[in-house]
Structure 1
Amino acid sequence: MNERILLIEDSVMITKVLRHLIKTELGLPCDSAGTLQETREFLEKDPDGYFVTVVDLHLPDAPNGEVLDYVLSKKLPCIVLTATYDEGKRETILQKPIVDYVVKESRYSYEYVTRLIRRLLRNRNIKVVVADDSDTSRQYVRQLLVTHLYQVQLAKHGREALEMIKADPEIKMLISDYNMPEMDGFELTRALRREYDKKDLVIIGLSGYGSATLSAKFIKNGANDFLMKPFFHEEFHCRIMHNIEAMENIQALNDAANRDYLTGMYNRRYLFSAAKELYRVAKENGEPLTAAMIDVDHFKRINDTYGHEAGDRAICAFAKMIGETFGDYLAARFGGEEFCVLFPGVSIEKISPMLESFRHKVEQTAIPFLSDHLRLTVSIGATDVLGDSLDNLIRRADVLLYESKDNGRNRLTTDEDI
């Protein structure tokens, strides 16, 4: 996916500041043009080469903002920069389909530009449903969102929006009008909140009718926010950004609590939380659920011989191999050099060859460290005997793991082997 930025600015100092921030904060490639002519040359040479532009309104060969109209004609998102604040000019520019209008006042202004670019990058992966019975209103809100690179789906009433969201777990935001046929905004919000938490789905209510208490009613029914029509689109984008970032921050905190800090794999806490449902389904439906405990052999020797940095490198490389091999299943770092993988719907007979292949892959892999290479072997215990609890299933796999260790390590042991 294209991530190149075109910076259009005639000030050498500002160009250096923005290029530095874009490189250090975002790590993205950036081309810079100081005139309208240079801008034309870049875009004619590679018309699809940029995902966003940062545009100074006043250039030597385009003193009246001509460069903005040119870039917009190429259907490129534009963040507008200007050295002066003029209310009339600002209102005129904000009527155009731009991302935002930023006055060059201080370093914070340029940091805000990088924040906007980062937001646009993330927006490309965010799906939004707009529910409104007015075609004009739907299309207006859609255009505002598309300008910020959101993926937008449209619904004519609440029932249609509800079906869209249930059918696509990737949808992260709903913008809903209050007055709609079949199912209004209140009913839609209540129905969604029975299944989706605020951290999983942002709901923003809209209305051009009703009393001043309508916003409170919407929020009390589970909406994250509310806007009264007509709204100024700067406020609209600020509210959208605030709510999306709040959701992302909560998800980041949850993810941090569920991930191992070193490897990025799920941790033991998350494993048991997610595995409860897998175990329940297996037990109720009579389906197989295989648990495998995997332990790096003689891991202490690596730390003692090469130091803890080498141990960390080995664990990270090993975790990557687990992810590459068992990415379709539930894998977690259980603790230290011990890992657990759960295979829902897969019997021990079917998964044993895969586990044996993984054991061989680890044995054959050399992990670079400084001028040397680290080599690992693993012991594995695996079972699909559900027993009477999830704890007993994992405990049984752990017992089989220690059978592998007691019998010379670097081997797989299942129930059939003892």
Structure 2
Amino acid sequence: MSKKLLVIEDSKPIARIIETIAQSLNFDVTLATSLESVKKIVEEDNSFFVATVDYGLPDAENGEAIPYVISKGIPSIVLTGMMDDETRQEILSQPVIDYIPKENSQAFLYLKRILEYQLTNSIYGILVVDDSLSTRNYIVELLKRRNFTVYTATQGKEALEVLAENSDIKLVITDLEMPVMDGITLCNEIRKKYSREQLAIIGISGAINGTHSARFIKNGADDFLRKPFCLEEFYCRITQNIDNLNNIEKIQHAANTDYLTELPNRRAFFTNAEPCVQQYIKDKATYCVAIFDIDFFKKVNDVHGHDAGDHILKVFALYLRKHLGTGLLSRLGGEEFSVVLSGTDKKELYTKLDQFRENVASSAVSYADTEINYSVSIGVVFNSTKTLTQQMIEADAALYFAKENGRNRIAVADKI
């Protein structure tokens, strides 16, 4: 369901730009051109997710619309053509999400980022660790303006407990001087369990000593802020650290995902499947390792073209997810795929693989104006206590046997 955005702007060209930006983010937009029109709109419906508020309106030239909208419980982003320090301080003294000077086109790109953050920030948990109730509450209030999910702790030991209980926490903001466990020790303890790719840490301190920032960074923190901090710098540091984590996640996803089928690639398969196989062996669970190869795939490319071949690979990946999605899947490369799959017994797993093979063989794939029929051969190893690499070699040998003996069949490694 679309979130509702109230755009308060008397300039029609600017209002249109904001509306276009908001609609690109799937906002349901309501426009208002004056404080009077805002009051009429809000009286009927104040269920707005966020508002953009022009500082100077025809009937509210000095920012009177800002406190009114905020008083109605609507989070607000202020846009202003006024750049003096007095106006800036007046705006920032109110609990606004942010303010944006209407200087050039960059202002609207920034607005888009802020609106997008408001939509997505709730998935990120931030843990605030400080023994000062007033400081803790202040930081929590700032974070909630930006729609983050916020957790709190009064000292390091409690913070570790909260962190262990809440997997959505991606950022820890910790004070230096606290009882039981201080911020430096907390950073060290966090880094024993969470890498910089998993979790960011920002150290804060009101102490004058200039070495605290270096101590925090050297002990595992990613950033540092000195209290009292600039509000705008605070938000920039938070955003920067969250963005860094997102960029790392995107890079890791690209490195571990097959671009065509969106299945894990060979690298990810071996990384994830090896500990899974070892756990199955330890638990004496029933499982199998199987390799699939699409029969005569080169012929599909030669006859129907490489685009058709890519389409077949995508459809095959969808079949794998549908029928064998409880296992660890991958595209090993080319027309080869794999799975590590567990079950109640060997017969159940064999039947599952064979039914999958039959479904592929009996389901023609539509491409352009053509129906393409194809089949798959499977090599499988059941309940081996060998390493994953050794099992893959044996499954590959069984696959070769299946291909050499008629294709569209399953070959079991210990029976060839």
Give the TM-score normalised by the residue count of structure 1: 0.90
Asked if 1:174 is matched to 2:172, the reply is yes
Aligned partner letter, 2:389: D
Question: Could you list the per-position Cα deviations for residues 35-54 of structure 1 after superposition, in whole angstroms to 9, with x for gaps in the alignment?
Answer: 33544555555543x43322
Amino acid at match of 1:33: A
Which of 144, 147, 154 is the matching residue for 1:146?
A: 144
Q: Who is 1:398 aligned against?
A: 396
Shift of 1:182: 1.6
The structure-2 alpha-carbon separation of the partners of 1:231 and 1:325, relative to structure 1 and needing over 3 Å to count, comes to: farther
CA deviation string 1:273-301 (max 9, x = no partner): 22232233344454444212122233223
Contact kept, 8 Å, 1:207 with 1:228, in 2: the verdict is yes
Q: What is the aligned partner in structure 2 of residue 310 from structure 1?
A: 308
- Name 1:341's counterpart in structure 2: 339
**What are the equivalent positions in structure 2 for 1:154-193 lying under 5 Å apart?**
154-193=152-191
- Of 49, 56, 70 in structure 2, the residue corresponding to residue 51 of structure 1 is 49
Quote the residue 1:60 is aligned against. Answer: 58
Distance 1:77-1:305 versus aligned 2 partners, 3 A rule: farther
Q: Distance in 2 between matches of 1:180 and 1:91?
A: 32
2:69 corresponds to which letter in structure 1? V
Report the alpha carbon displacement of residue 410 of structure 1 after superposing the two structures with TM: 3.3
One-letter identity of the residue aligned with 2:243: E
1:102 is paired with a residue whose SS is strand
Name the counterpart of 2:20: 20
Q: Please, which moves more after superposition, 290-299 or 142-151?
A: 290-299
**Partner in structure 1 of residue 224 of structure 2:** 226
Q: Which residue of 2 aligns with 1:35?
A: 34
2:269 aligned partner:
271
| Structure 1 segment 372-383 matched on structure 2, within 5 A | 372-383=370-381
Q: Identify which of 103, 106, 115 aligns with 1:105.
A: 103
**Which amino acid is 1:36 matched to?**
L
Q: Paired residue for 1:89? A: 87
Q: Distance in 1 between matches of 2:188 and 2:11?
A: 52
Question: Is residue 287–residue 343 contact of structure 2 (8 Å, CA) maintained in 1?
Answer: yes
Query: Partner of 1:370 in structure 2?
Result: 368
Partner of 2:233: 235
Between 197-206 and 269-278, report the one with greater CA deviation.
269-278
Q: Which moved further from structure 2: 374-383 or 148-157? A: 374-383
CA contact 1:347–1:384 (8 Å) conserved in 2: no
User: What residue is the counterpart of 1:354 in the other structure?
Assistant: 352
- The counterpart of 1:257, out of the listed 244, 249, 255, is 255
- Bigger shift: residues 238-247 or 318-327: 318-327
- Structure 1 residue 126: Cα displacement: 0.5
Match of 2:7 in 1: 7
In structure 2, distance between residues paired with 1:218 and 1:273: 32
Using a 3 Å threshold, how does the CA distance of structure 1 residues 117 and 389 change in structure 2: closer, same or farther? Answer: same
| Change in CA separation of 1:186 and 1:64 when aligned onto 2, cut-off 3 Å | same
Q: Residue by residue, what CA displacement relative to the aligned partner does 1:301-331 show, whole Å, maximum 9, x if unpaired?
A: 3322322222222222322332344444321
Where does the alignment leave 5 or more consecutive residues of structure 2 unmatched? none
Contact 2:343 2:349 survives alignment (8 Å): no
Question: Within 2, Cα distance between the matches of 1:142 and 1:358?
Answer: 52
Shift in Å at residue 387 of structure 1?
4.7
Report the residue type matching 1:262 in the other structure. Answer: L
- Mapped to 2, the partners of 1:38 and 1:315 lie a distance apart of 56
In structure 1, give the amino acid aligned to 2:300: I
1:330-377 Cα shifts (integer Å, max 9, x gaps): 211110121111236875444334333433443454544334444443
2:245 equivalent in structure 1: 247
Where 1:75 maps in the other structure, the secondary structure is coil
Farther-moved stretch of structure 1 (172-181 vs 389-398): 389-398
Q: 1:33 Cα shift?
A: 3.0
Give the superposition deviation at 1:241. 0.7
**Alignment coverage as a number of residue pairs:** 416
Matches of 1:185 and 1:130 in 2, distance apart? 11
> Residue by residue, what CA displacement relative to the aligned partner does 1:204-253 show, whole Å, maximum 9, x if unpaired?
11122351111111111110011111112211101111111112112211
Contact 1:289 1:343 in 2 (8 A): yes
Matched to 1:276, the amino acid is E
Query: Is 2:9–2:31's contact at 8 Å kept on the other side of the alignment?
Result: yes
CA spacing shift, 1:312–1:10, aligned 2, 3 Å = farther
Aligned to 1:209: 207
Q: Which of 47, 72, 77 is the equivalent residue of 2:70?
A: 72
Partners of 2:96 and 2:16 in 1: CA distance: 23
CA contact (8 A) 1:22 1:30 kept: yes
- Distance in 2, Cα, partners of 1:70 & 1:273: 55
Is the CA contact 2:126–2:172 (under 8 Å) kept in the aligned structure 1? yes
1:369-407 CA-partner distances (Å, limit 9, x unpaired): 334444443322222243532211112222333344344
2:123 is paired with a residue whose SS is coil
- Residue 189 of structure 1, CA deviation: 0.5
What is the one-letter code of the residue matched to 2:74?
L
**Structure 2 length as normaliser, TM-score?**
0.90
Distance between the aligned counterparts of 2:40 and 2:412, measured in 1?
Answer: 66
1:331 is matched with 329
The separation in 2 between residues aligned to 1:38 and 1:328, in whole angstroms, is 55
Q: CA RMSD in A?
A: 2.6
| Counterpart residue number, 1:411 | 409
- Give the 3 Å change call, closer, same or farther, for CA 416–346 of structure 1 in structure 2: farther
TM-superposed CA distance for 1:125, in Å, is: 0.8
Q: CA deviation at 1:23?
A: 4.5
